[in-house]
Structure 1
Amino acid sequence: MKPNQTRREFLLGSTALALTLFFGSREPLHAQSSSSFDTPVAIPPEDGGTLVDGVREFTLSLQSGKTEFFEGVQTDTMGINGSYLGPVLRMRTGETVRFDVTNTLAIESTLHWHGLNLPASTDGGPHQPIEPGGTWSPSFKIHDVASTMWYHSHQLHQTASQVWAGLAGMIIIDDEVSDDLDIPSTYGVDDIPLVLQDRRFNRDGSMPYEASMHDEMAGMSGNVPLINGTVRPYVDVSTEKLRLRLLNGANASIYNLAFSDGRSFVQIASDGGFLGQPAEMSELLLAPGERAEIIVDFTQNERVILESKALGGRRGGGQGMGMGGGMMMAEQNPQFQLVEFRAADTLEPLAEVPDKLAELPRISETQATKTREFLLEMPGMGPLRMLGMGGGFTINGNAMKMRRVDEVVKLGETEIWEIVNAGPMIHPFHIHNTQFRLLDRDGLLPGPNEAGLKDTVVVFPGERVRLLVRFDHYTDPERPYMYHCHILEHEDAGMMGQFTVV
């Protein structure tokens, strides 16, 4: 360690150096399955459940099946009420919902309601496993405002493989604010859900989860992008404005989204609901677990492609990241053509996006009664393990243990959580049971599109991100919630901790 060099800077530099040796000969895969977009995008079925005595009830089945990603080829997959992915679950703020989740798989699984505020016993994390043949029936009130959430497997040490196989789906929450806003809202017509993923296929069409040491370190990514489970899809556009509900449901890939002609668009919502005002932008970074709603303008007869572009020079505030760190970030950021939009020769006009979308409380760190630090480290995977330099993926030096509670938080108290990335990779940090507000990144205020409600935040190498966090609804001294990196291989390898609310 050099004089005046912090431990975090030393870890960044030394880890990046070793990783340069490990990844130096590896070229990322960016192959496209064909040169044209020739399949209409699959729109997931909406499932509004059934109202029974004022409770909205859903029946879900975790199941195996076969999916035709490529014409004439059947791929073994998993899904929820289908062969791959699940329906879009639709519910309203203030309702009580109940789920009967039956596991018809031959393996144990879970179903986590990502982004929702709910009791720990109904969270669907690793403490609520569903045995093969078993049924889990959680029930809770919807406290969250209008938003795009999602649900996915959260099985201990198997989250990555089960999500890879298809155990995930989108949730849409409506409320009076969303009812009153004059924005595109006709599902599947001008309001389109897009689950962004990528997968790796063998020549026979199989999509096995076979994680190498490289995949465990960088996260499992593929060379074929899937949109709602569709390869090289197109969307027919019949209106002048299109609302896209974007969910990064990938295991590890970080998409830097932009349109092929460079057009701008407006973001209207982040993970937990509407922004205060629309944020105009031409690129949108979306990491695993994050959601965003955008509105895009179209003119008749045009075609444009949504792409994932290189991040370029964008990075956090760390020093000494070095060549290895840049290489690792490139590994995380595949370049793809994702989906083509085809505008009709006549488009239905729609109203301009309102200047004001929602009322968001002002935030100030003076509200906080406690500060906690969470140091994300990856000191000993791959080549570093071979060099005898330590363990694996950790938070504050600890890998996940089911029997250990790492933090105890008081109900109704506002805290500052400081997330520090001491490694050479981007880590999207997710906290269960809350929608937090982003205070700053290395002292710099967040951009307009990060000023709203979030449950997952991107933390660049060397960066310190401060969050204003609060838990308002439920206590349980025995059952914990999770916080973790949402690169699923990192989560499975130990970059996850537990906290209780009392």
Structure 2
Amino acid sequence: MSSVSRSRWLRRLLFGVLALAVVVPGAAGGCTAWVYTSAAVSTVGTTDFRNELAIPPLAPSTIGPDGSRVFELDMRSGTKEFRPGKITETWGFNGDYLGPTLRARRGERVEVRVRNQLPEASTVHWHGMHVPAAMDGGPHQMVNAGESWAPRWTVDQPAATLWYHPHPHGKTEQHVRRGLAGMFVLDDENSESLTLPKDYGVDDLPVIVQDVKFSGSGFDNSHRIFRNAGFLGEQILVNGTLAPYREVGTELVRLRLLNASTARIYNFGFGDDRTFALIGTDGGLVPRPTTLDRLQLSPGERAEIVVRVRPGERTILRSNPIEAGLDFWNQRFSGGDDRLDILELRAAATLRPAPELPATLATLEVPDGSTSVRERHFDLNLAGINNVPMAMDRIDLTVARGSTEIWVVRNADGMPHNFHVHDAQFRVLSVNGAPPGAQLTGAKDTVFVAPDSTVRLALRFDGPADPNTPYMYHCHLLWHEDQGMMGQFVVVEPGQSAGTPHAHGH
């Protein structure tokens, strides 16, 4: 039975039980109520915030003979004590869990020397980075166990909060869930000139959010019944820390939020409903700060926010029930009703003053769609994009280097989906025909697509051309990706045809 047929069968089964409960109350009704009520998770008021938030170290680098900034990443297996006295088997980069924060500046040439010390092949994808296709780290750039890979590229995009993670075809959810992820922060002349919080680990905090469930000496990665979105955990790790708090000493604190979960959507806000300023999205700083009290991020999305704290207070970053246009079924079984405490900020008794945020931040470099040369349509459902499942040896799209296109993406079923494009940042032109909300006004590489909704995106493909090596586009709910919700495109010189990709990967 296919995954789509199985999910529909399970849905019909529950609706059948619901109907039976109406006709024959008692056992059937009790079973139905238990399945439904037990699907919701809340950690609000029960999180003791006993552990100081770990801050991933900045990765050391050297300068190579050609002037490149060289980083080294070792993919390793290990163990970590998330819970007192209990050891969990993990994977990580340069350590037991997660990886260091890589940091580079626009215009720099970088090289990352990746060594795979895991017992199986994997990859390292530079999520949000504008890179040549052969350096992208997708499923065509597998690194076998015991082997190395050294991608090189020149950073040619604005300051932004990006990240890196594995991308093996059919196993991405599994590899990310074990702990392989890290941030990649970019700076540029503009970001360095702005009066924003920028002291890494002090008033500029990475916040890598993951949901987990423990089982014995490892993670429980099983999908509970009716969880069509994928894995949903019952506890939250931030930077690999369970129940974290962070002491802060400045009036303004910048949080670089990364949804590194594989299926869970977070609706971030603070427990006291205080407002915060959105200053950046996936691809970098927004034109001007926007005041919000809620910010929803689906898997793979990032946002930079700045929150003001008062001397001696404590405030909790929390995920609230999501507002995603889901029906009764998917709202409950895709985690939409869950309420999760994420991180407690503890302000010092005396705080260093911070200047007000600048009125303007950056000029967007993503296209506005006015010079688009064509429009393409993508229907998302679990059977595949446009009902075509992923095939490693098939090129789905060919785009001309230097061209701008409009991609129209529609969620064609009732499940939550999102849409991620490798290499290119895009502008969200509209959502269901209306202007996008404030949280979508910046450069993006991943966007949530609610059921029965349509988003229009403008993308420019700057190359370099490579007719034989594809980039990916896919749903970033990683179980959906692994099931085949992914396609491939190549960038070619105008008039050139696509070549034939090598069928690497799982």
- In the superposition, the TM-score normalised over structure 1's length comes to 0.89
Is the partner of 1:354 in helix, strand or coil? coil
Which of 236, 261, 265 does residue 250 from structure 1 map onto?
261
Which of 304, 309, 329 does residue 315 from structure 2 map onto?
304
Flag the structure with more relative contact order, 1 or 2, with Cα contacts below 8 A and sequence separation at least 6.
1
Shift of 1:99: 1.2
Is the partner of 1:192 in helix, strand or coil? strand
Question: For residue 249 of structure 2, what is the aligned residue in structure 1?
Answer: 238
CA contact (8 A) 1:439 1:445 kept: yes
Question: For residue 380 of structure 2, what is the aligned residue in structure 1?
Answer: 376
CA contact (8 A) 1:275 1:449 kept: no
Counterparts of 1:426 and 1:238, CA distance in 2:
39
1:473 has 2:463 as partner: yes
CA contact (8 A) 2:366 2:425 kept: no
Output one character per residue of 1:407-433: Cα deviation in whole Å (capped at 9) or x when no partner.
111111110100000111221210000
CA contact (8 A) 1:270 1:453 kept: yes
1:455 has 2:445 as partner: yes
1:210 has 2:226 as partner: no
Which of 469, 475, 483 does residue 493 from structure 1 map onto?
483
Counterparts of 1:65 and 1:107, CA distance in 2:
14
> Residues 458, 322 of structure 1: CA spacing in aligned structure 2 closer, same or farther, 3 A cutoff?
closer
Question: For residue 232 of structure 2, what is the aligned residue in structure 1?
Answer: 221
Is the partner of 2:328 in helix, strand or coil? helix
Question: For residue 398 of structure 2, what is the aligned residue in structure 1?
Answer: 408
Shift of 1:452: 1.1
The amino acid that maps onto 2:12 is A
1:366 has 2:391 as partner: no
> Residues 363, 111 of structure 1: CA spacing in aligned structure 2 closer, same or farther, 3 A cutoff?
closer
Output one character per residue of 1:435-491: Cα deviation in whole Å (capped at 9) or x when no partner.
000000011101223111100001000000000011113111111000000000000
CA contact (8 A) 1:96 1:139 kept: yes
Counterparts of 1:419 and 1:499, CA distance in 2:
16
Counterparts of 1:344 and 1:459, CA distance in 2:
40
1:21 has 2:15 as partner: yes
CA contact (8 A) 1:16 1:325 kept: no
Counterparts of 1:22 and 1:185, CA distance in 2:
55
Counterparts of 2:324 and 2:286, CA distance in 1:
24
User: Which range moves more in the overlay, 21-30 or 61-70?
Assistant: 21-30
Counterparts of 2:220 and 2:468, CA distance in 1:
37
Question: For residue 199 of structure 2, what is the aligned residue in structure 1?
Answer: 186
CA contact (8 A) 2:366 2:443 kept: no
> Residues 333, 131 of structure 1: CA spacing in aligned structure 2 closer, same or farther, 3 A cutoff?
farther
CA contact (8 A) 2:366 2:459 kept: no
CA contact (8 A) 2:236 2:243 kept: yes
Alignment of 1:322-341 (within 5 A): 322-329=327-334, 331-332=335-336, 334-341=338-345
Which of 163, 166, 187 does residue 174 from structure 1 map onto?
187
Shift of 1:35: 3.8
Output one character per residue of 1:144-186: Cα deviation in whole Å (capped at 9) or x when no partner.
2100000001011110011000011001001101110001100
Counterparts of 2:121 and 2:464, CA distance in 1:
27
Question: For residue 54 of structure 2, what is the aligned residue in structure 1?
Answer: 42
Counterparts of 1:258 and 1:445, CA distance in 2:
23
Is the partner of 1:476 in helix, strand or coil? coil
The amino acid that maps onto 2:288 is Q
Output one character per residue of 1:216-247: Cα deviation in whole Å (capped at 9) or x when no partner.
x2211110100001000001010000000000
Shift of 1:102: 0.5
> Residues 460, 19 of structure 1: CA spacing in aligned structure 2 closer, same or farther, 3 A cutoff?
farther
> Residues 83, 292 of structure 1: CA spacing in aligned structure 2 closer, same or farther, 3 A cutoff?
same
Alignment of 1:28-177 (within 5 A): 28=39, 30=41, 32=43, 35-53=47-65, 54-177=67-190
Output one character per residue of 1:378-397: Cα deviation in whole Å (capped at 9) or x when no partner.
3xxxxxxxxxxxxxx31001
The amino acid that maps onto 1:252 is A
Is the partner of 2:487 in helix, strand or coil? strand
Shift of 1:210: 3.2
Is the partner of 1:489 in helix, strand or coil? helix
User: Which range moves more in the overlay, 357-366 or 165-174?
Assistant: 357-366
Question: For residue 443 of structure 1, what is the aligned residue in structure 2?
Answer: 433
The amino acid that maps onto 1:210 is S
**Number of residue pairs matched by the alignment:** 468
Question: For residue 454 of structure 2, what is the aligned residue in structure 1?
Answer: 464
CA contact (8 A) 1:63 1:80 kept: yes
Alignment of 1:265-344 (within 5 A): 265-311=276-322, 314-316=323-325, 322-329=327-334, 331-332=335-336, 334-344=338-348
Percent sequence identity over matched residues?
A: 43
The amino acid that maps onto 1:359 is T
- In the superposition, the TM-score normalised over structure 2's length comes to 0.89
Counterparts of 1:22 and 1:71, CA distance in 2:
44
Counterparts of 1:453 and 1:94, CA distance in 2:
19
Counterparts of 1:41 and 1:146, CA distance in 2:
25
Counterparts of 1:345 and 1:455, CA distance in 2:
40
Shift of 1:134: 0.3
Question: For residue 503 of structure 2, what is the aligned residue in structure 1?
Answer: none
Counterparts of 2:373 and 2:14, CA distance in 1:
42
Counterparts of 2:180 and 2:48, CA distance in 1:
28
> Residues 15, 423 of structure 1: CA spacing in aligned structure 2 closer, same or farther, 3 A cutoff?
farther
Question: For residue 409 of structure 2, what is the aligned residue in structure 1?
Answer: 419
1:263 has 2:274 as partner: yes
Counterparts of 1:48 and 1:485, CA distance in 2:
33
Output one character per residue of 1:278-304: Cα deviation in whole Å (capped at 9) or x when no partner.
011000001100000000001101011
Cα RMSD, aligned residues only: 2.1
Counterparts of 2:474 and 2:16, CA distance in 1:
25
Counterparts of 2:49 and 2:456, CA distance in 1:
41
Shift of 1:372: 0.3
> Residues 343, 322 of structure 1: CA spacing in aligned structure 2 closer, same or farther, 3 A cutoff?
closer
CA contact (8 A) 2:226 2:333 kept: no
Shift of 1:100: 1.0
Counterparts of 2:47 and 2:442, CA distance in 1:
38
> Residues 96, 362 of structure 1: CA spacing in aligned structure 2 closer, same or farther, 3 A cutoff?
closer
> Residues 205, 28 of structure 1: CA spacing in aligned structure 2 closer, same or farther, 3 A cutoff?
farther
Counterparts of 1:479 and 1:198, CA distance in 2:
33
